[in-house]
Chain A
């Protein structure tokens, strides 16, 4: 059974979420603080981590950064804060998705299922290396290289890059990317924008003037062939 770790300081929310997720068929565990959550994840890795932002001690943003340093487990922020600044900051810290409380359990469950589906092998032709100038993608190895140097990317970022590489030279809309990478029919397009921004910071020499991952105004993004 898929395991979910719920890092939430409010006992009632944590308990009710754990109960509801167990009803949805997940093995759910709770942690009241970031420290507890990080320790629980180290002891027994969950498939997905739900994190609240307002935690005592280490806050949610730092908790996400620390989780990201050790593995690329899908992280979903579940927070009462709906400010754009908080959402973007959480995604930039390394979260894969962001939902605002109160979220219906059916919707949360659907999002978790979509995140799990992304763990399947990337649907690109089985070629050892995809090259775009100094950018190289190794789908089977799950690796990205820029100028021969390996670049650390998260699972979501890798999935996003592979999706764009599969359709190199063609524009993919944010909605198409949300559907193909996150598995969402509709949703918040800021997810795509922030992840593209993070990818650019890693694979472009100058993320302000990208040579690989370009924005096509009003339409979406495309990976240039050369």
Chain B
């Protein structure tokens, strides 16, 4: 699984931070509130136990034969408190239903020493506070104060604080999400500018004034683009200089070779053969230099204009000595928004390729719809073997393998590389398929040309 994006990570960080912080705050608040409430409740319980113990002690002392049950029943204990007296044996207001079991032994031992004791116990699943008040004559008054209400309050408080913590984490995530959107906005500008530069618009720059906090980033980016543009300009100029320096002597060679070629009949056989080789190689050298210079212009974007591609294809066929009738328009308009020079060369190279390796093109098909425009050139040659299909678009590949039935047709080895480059300049693709019935089918897909 890939690493989460920056925005997702920052948002998660904000959410986690908010959660930890709010949980810590909630926990501290809960503890403080809990201690405060319990302490308050303990004090109240102890005061009530003292008060009730005084009533019980008075009831016992003022009566030689006291009815302890009646005395205990006279206490106003409400629903939450229960009174128990230990005087030789346990006495309660009603039948003991395990009430005395709730009184811990340690508390009983503590009270037996004549000291007041308080202990929190678990009485049948609910917390309770047992207060032991020693009386005269070894009697001990116990009051069991149920803390169920306080426990419920604390549970509600815990739930509310947990929900608040989760809400805070959600709010943190939202803040993180919005903050990253704000922070990433300049990066989006950088990405858009980079995209424009990639598309060939080398004048694209970022405005440092737009995001003063990111002035360093925009300045660095602009500096990098300046350097890159300067480098590309140097390369372009170098290519132009190389081009000029190569073209000039080639012109001399071409003209001199033409003079030699015209006089080949007057030369002896050996010299005529050498002259023929020079003429052929000068011609191939010319084409090679032109193709190399064309390949060197990869950085230039497609110069799109409205072109009647069907007419261009027919004209190219005529120039190659082919019947223009092999051009068929399968569907869609024929006026495409493409770079005329590149598409003309694309047709040239595909027809040359078909002539060199496939016995000549048999059909040139043009299809256009809203999604893409398609050029297909068919031949009825031996086709392209599966292992050669991905390789033929590479530079200087000519019938590479022994298995290939396509031999070197004397080309520069750059024709199909240029086809792929011209397709890419239009954000398109080039592929070779098997033609139904035998032969090769070269397919060029060009998006957004209508």
Residue positions of A touching B, CB distance < 8 A: 10, 12-13, 16-17, 19-20, 23, 54, 78, 80-84, 100-106, 173, 175, 185-186, 189, 217-219
Contact = CB atoms under 8 A, between A and B. Distances in A.
A27 B293 CA distance: 34
A185 B318 contact: yes
Nearest to B303: A84
Given A80-B244, A80-B248, A186-B318, A105 B308 contact: no
Nearest to A220: B308
Contacts of B243: 80, 82
Interface string B278-320: 0000010010010001000000000100111001000110110
A81 B255 contact: no
B153 interface: no
Contacts of A83: 240
A172 B293 CA distance: 33
A54 B293 CA distance: 20
Contacts of A20: 255-256, 258-259
Given A80-B251, A102-B254, 9 more contacts: A16-B256, A19-B256, A80-B243, A80-B247, A101-B248, A103-B251, A105-B255, A175-B311, A189-B340
B286 A186 contact: no
A10 B256 CA distance: 14
A12 B252 contact: yes
Contacts of A173: 308, 311
Interface string B249-269: 111111110110010000000
A226 to B, nearest CB: 26
Secondary structure class of chain B's binding surface, majority of residues: helix
Contacts of A78: 251
A81 B244 contact: yes
A109 B223 CA distance: 50
Interface range on chain B: under 10, 10 to 19, 20 to 34, or 35 or more?
Answer: 20 to 34
A137 B243 CA distance: 44
A48 B256 CA distance: 21
B338 to A, nearest CB: 11
B289 to A, nearest CB: 8
B259 A16 contact: yes
B250 to A, nearest CB: 4
B248 A218 contact: no
B251 A101 contact: yes
Given A16-B252, A175-B315, A185-B318, A105 B258 contact: yes
A13 B250 CA distance: 9
A140 B283 CA distance: 44
A186 B247 contact: no
B254 A218 contact: no
B252 A13 contact: yes
